[in-house]
Structure 1
Amino acid sequence: MKICVISPFTGLAGDMLLAALVDAGAPLERIRSAVAASGLTGWELRVQSLLTHGLTAARALVDVTDDATSRPAAELIAMAGRVEPAPVAERSVAALRAIAEAEGRLHGEAPERVHLHELGGHDTLVDVIGVFAALDALEVSTVYCGALPLGGGTVRTAHGVLPCPAPATASLLKGARTVGSELTGETVTPTAAALLKAAGARFEPPPEFRLLATGYGAGTRSLPDRPNVAVVHLGETADAGTRELMVLETNLDDVTGEVLGHAVGELLAAGALDAWISPVTMKKGRPAHVLHVLAAPEHASRLGDLVLAETGSLGLRQYPVRRTALERETETVDVLGMPVRRKRGPHGAKPEHDDVVAAARELGLPARVVATIAAGR
């Protein structure tokens, strides 16, 4: 399992985290493509290298060619919802919705009616989508974060001068680990706080891991005695094949086999790690089926909604499980001139059924014969 460990040396902002992830190896083009899918126009994302207090770090810069400096939260959320892949859109929407809810509570407005000022420009959307696109590209499953240093003093906003941390930031950081800092001003931004919240960041020591890469992301503020950077460490945990997952289940006694089969296909296409159906006997001897879904925790809510929508069920069970997945690789073998893919693990190899069927039809042989040849038995 790949993890990201954030060390907020002088604090954290969305652009600092984005730059650090790029510095650690996140592909910039994947990030730009995800942001572009939102429909945002008039922007360009650049990441440049700079030297600060003897440390080389990356800085993310958004060049804007239009004058839209603020937008309604509902507009930003709708734009983030268009992004592909779905997990990036889901987390981006969650972060923006968290900001809207925090601002709504502070100003007595419904979240969908909140008009974001400093947070409604291009930077916020680029930072939010960009961070989650980077985490997705790096295949990060879990985010850990060190204690966030909170500065004192004040910050100037569209609503006037406010104490640090800004009220919206303080609201979004509920439950996070924080520590006082001698730095003054805004050391943690609302965008950074929302990113951590939507990422499900754990404010606890990470497990033992193998370090894969480190990235340094610089902020725009210059400090006299230290580099203003956030640091990310990418790692692979010692139990890389074991992962905490969720199982979703619902009993169905009034759904046809065609609908069940369609639901399984839709769930797999939507990101379920697996989906299957079991026959059962319910009360009063009624024959029925149980639809099971294996999902990553961050996708469980969305996939649960899909189960209910596709089946019409009135309820859903969910519980945590631990899955151990052995290392495997996909290779292609030649079967009498036909290519057949097969997965090879520590204890054997299994041909891909679709390739076996296609080769069997071309060769005029039974599928079981082609499968035997492809497996190398």
Structure 2
Amino acid sequence: MRTLYFDCFSGISGDMVIGALIDAGADPLQMEEELKKLNIDEEYTLSWGKVVKNGITSTKFDVILTSKSEQPHEHSHSHGHKHSHNGDHSHSHEHEHNHSHALHNHHGSRTYKQIVEAINEANLNESVTNMSLAIFKKIGEAEGHIHGLPLDKVHFHEVGAVDSIIDIIGAAILIEQLGIESVQSSAIPTGSGHIHIDHGIYPVPAPATLEILKGVPIASNAIRSELATPTGTAIAAVLAEKFGSLPAMTVESIGYGAGTKTFENHPNVLRIIIGEIQ
């Protein structure tokens, strides 16, 4: 069985997942074409390229919002500001202008309901649609629980942000493209300390991340920084059938996805290992 293992020794975020999948050999150009079905491609450009994190060559993936985006970039749970690394291998595309329908933006945020409609209307592959909807539902339920709102009333920046939409649906497209039949993951380190989000200063893990981590083993980690974002955590929580150490497998490909932050004593990358389990 073709299995993907998330080795989250430095946490997990949506952009790290996509970087690692591209690094493991997935085709980002095909992902980019599929994402156009959402009709929001006038709002962003995608960039990916090789970076070195503490001695490990890895792939950095970025969603760069264009001036045509009506939405302020408030990805308040992210690893800090996103930067484009235009190294020799980096790649960036300008997109044609398309009018968005289900995802038309009002007042700088999008609702869970709008995102579900857009995914259903996009005519994506069935398994990509199902994966994407399940991951968004996991985040929507967590946010709804914290804010005391039913799922269809959840209206927020984090899931509504263009980069979260791209990270989640893009990850589903690449996982399906790679022919993955099962997913496993290590325990997830959350980091520690405090972060600034829309509502003030919060402890790490942020409330939404902790809610998503219910039922998922958390690894202890002394790093005073946010290592796991809601998007990355939800991808692992929804897709992984099992959490634990690396399963016995014949390894076929390995990918390293770079995070935005750099830490002194260890590489801030997500490692994915793809192989056959007998």
How big is each residue's C-alpha offset from its partner over 1:318-344, in whole Å with a ceiling of 9 and x where there is no partner? Answer: xxxxxxxxxxxxxxxxxxxxxxxxxxx
Give the TM-score normalised by structure 1.
0.61
In the other structure, the counterpart of 1:59 is 60
| Aligned counterpart in structure 1 of residue 71 of structure 2, from 68, 71, 95 | 68
Q: Is the 8 A contact 1:118 1:157 kept in 2?
A: no
Q: Is the 8 A contact 1:168 1:190 kept in 2?
A: yes
Query: What SS does the aligned partner of 2:211 have?
Result: helix
Q: Is the 8 A contact 1:40 1:79 kept in 2?
A: no
1:109 equivalent to 2:110? Answer no
Structure 1: gaps of 5 or more residues: 239-377
Distance 1:56 1:83 in 2: 35
How big is each residue's C-alpha offset from its partner over 1:301-356, in whole Å with a ceiling of 9 and x where there is no partner? Answer: xxxxxxxxxxxxxxxxxxxxxxxxxxxxxxxxxxxxxxxxxxxxxxxxxxxxxxxx
Identity rate, percent: 31
Q: Is the 8 A contact 1:128 1:191 kept in 2?
A: yes
Distance 1:25 1:112 in 2: 37
Query: What SS does the aligned partner of 1:227 have?
Result: coil
Per-residue deviation at 1:57? 0.5
Q: Is the 8 A contact 2:6 2:273 kept in 1?
A: yes
How big is each residue's C-alpha offset from its partner over 1:63-83, in whole Å with a ceiling of 9 and x where there is no partner? Answer: 111131431121122222224
Per-residue deviation at 1:90? 1.0
1:78 equivalent to 2:117? Answer yes
Q: Is the 8 A contact 1:219 1:229 kept in 2?
A: yes
In the other structure, the counterpart of 2:34 is 34
Distance 2:70 2:258 in 1: 25
Distance 1:102 1:184 in 2: 24
Distance 1:215 1:161 in 2: 34
Query: What SS does the aligned partner of 1:181 have?
Result: coil
In the other structure, the counterpart of 2:205 is 165
In the other structure, the counterpart of 1:189 is 229
Give the direction of change, closer, same or farther, for the CA distance of 1:207–1:223 in structure 2 (3 Å limit). closer
Q: Is the 8 A contact 2:186 2:246 kept in 1?
A: no
Structure 2: gaps of 5 or more residues: 73-108
Q: Is the 8 A contact 1:118 1:158 kept in 2?
A: no
Q: Is the 8 A contact 1:72 1:113 kept in 2?
A: yes
Q: Is the 8 A contact 1:117 1:158 kept in 2?
A: no
How big is each residue's C-alpha offset from its partner over 1:246-283, in whole Å with a ceiling of 9 and x where there is no partner? Answer: xxxxxxxxxxxxxxxxxxxxxxxxxxxxxxxxxxxxxx
Q: Which has the higher contact order (CA 8 A, sep 6+)?
A: 2
Query: What SS does the aligned partner of 1:78 have?
Result: helix
Taking only aligned residues, the RMSD between alpha carbons, in angstroms, comes to 1.4
Q: Which moved more, 1:73-82 or 1:184-193?
A: 73-82
Distance 1:207 1:226 in 2: 23
In the other structure, the counterpart of 1:46 is 47
Distance 2:70 2:277 in 1: 45
In the other structure, the counterpart of 1:6 is 6
Distance 1:98 1:163 in 2: 21
Aligned AA (1:110): P
Q: 1:1-377 maps to which residues of 2 (within 5 A)?
A: 1-41=1-41, 42-65=43-66, 66-69=69-72, 70-81=109-120, 82-238=122-278
Query: What SS does the aligned partner of 1:20 have?
Result: helix
Aligned AA (1:115): H
Distance 1:159 1:113 in 2: 18
Query: What SS does the aligned partner of 2:250 have?
Result: strand
Aligned AA (2:118): M
Give the TM-score normalised by structure 2.
0.82
Q: Is the 8 A contact 1:145 1:203 kept in 2?
A: yes
Aligned AA (2:270): A
